[in-house]
Structure 1
Amino acid sequence: MKDKKKEDLLQFINDWGGETFAKTLDIQFTDIDVENETLTATMPVLPRIHQPFGIMHGGASCVLAETMGSSLSNIFIDGEKYFGVGTNINTNHLRSKKDGMVTAVARFIRKGKSMHVSEIEIRDEKGQLISHTTMTNTIINR
């Protein structure tokens, strides 16, 4: 993929859908690797996404992971014929995070015609694993 096309695709997915939950959490797609079918995004860890004990709410991790898994599926299918919808998500919260930035990387575990299973890892600035998610998307006809 040429850089301009990559930049255009990243701009498209960052603008996708107008006002969304992803925008509310300031999720920003930063990289797409078409050859390896991976997608990368960042999310700031701010007090508004904390739980009462001052650490990132697990639900925020799940929103980031589901945004990543759903976007990954929908980018790598024929969007004029199909769309992918989340049908299962399982997240393990492995480390807490109070502030800074997290980075999520999504990749396929299995990419079938009617079902995609993806893995999403969320890491901190030091590369430490914050959470690990597996997600299933069903691919349905438009």
Structure 2
Amino acid sequence: MKNLTKEEILYFLNSWGEEVTLPKTLEIKFIDVDIENETLTATMPVQPKVHQPFGILHGGASCVLAETMGSSLSNIFIDVSSYYGVGTNINSNHLRSKKDGIITGTARFIRKGKTIHVSEIEIRDEEGQLISHTTMTNNILSK
């Protein structure tokens, strides 16, 4: 997929899947991919459907954003005609609460091997404050 243009990759990621998926339900939108620096950026609105009972962002929703980004990052940088990347481990630290607005995540590789990728996903608010920090491991499997 890395041979596609930035616009083609973003279009693919934002329209991936024929059905209504969890990322679509949570309104996750991919807004940038940097092929040279191997990063991926996406946003998600913070609204009642992603709140926990106390009226703040549910940690699981942050994890969905992080895992969606980490998995997508891996799949951009492999030969998807022969392989696919799947998440096998995720570890998130929720550092700050958020009631509304938009959060933005940026995913980058910590290690990109042939069979395993480890990525880091930072989720920040509109002021750049760190809301959540995640590390994720993906196995790269043959189709």
Smaller-chain TM-score range?
Answer: over 0.9
Report whether the alignment pairs 1:132 with 2:105.
Answer: no
Identity of aligned residues (%): 74
C-alpha distance in structure 1 between counterparts of 2:50 and 2:12, whole Å:
25
C-alpha distance in structure 1 between counterparts of 2:5 and 2:135, whole Å:
29
Q: CA deviation at 1:5?
A: 2.2
Q: Please, what is the CA RMSD of the aligned residues? A: 0.9
TM-score (norm 2): 0.95
Question: What residue number does 1:81 align with?
Answer: 82
**Unpaired segments of 5 or more residues in structure 1?**
none
Aligned residues: 139
Question: What residue number does 2:61 align with?
Answer: 60
Question: What residue number does 1:9 align with?
Answer: 9
TM-score (norm 1): 0.96
C-alpha distance in structure 2 between counterparts of 1:70 and 1:9, whole Å:
14
Q: Which runs of 4+ in 1 moved over 2 A?
A: none
State the AA in 1 paired with 2:14. N
C-alpha distance in structure 2 between counterparts of 1:65 and 1:26, whole Å:
13
SS at match of 1:79: coil
Output aligned runs, 1:17-28, within 5 Å.
Answer: 17-18=17-18, 19-28=20-29
**Unpaired segments of 5 or more residues in structure 2?**
none
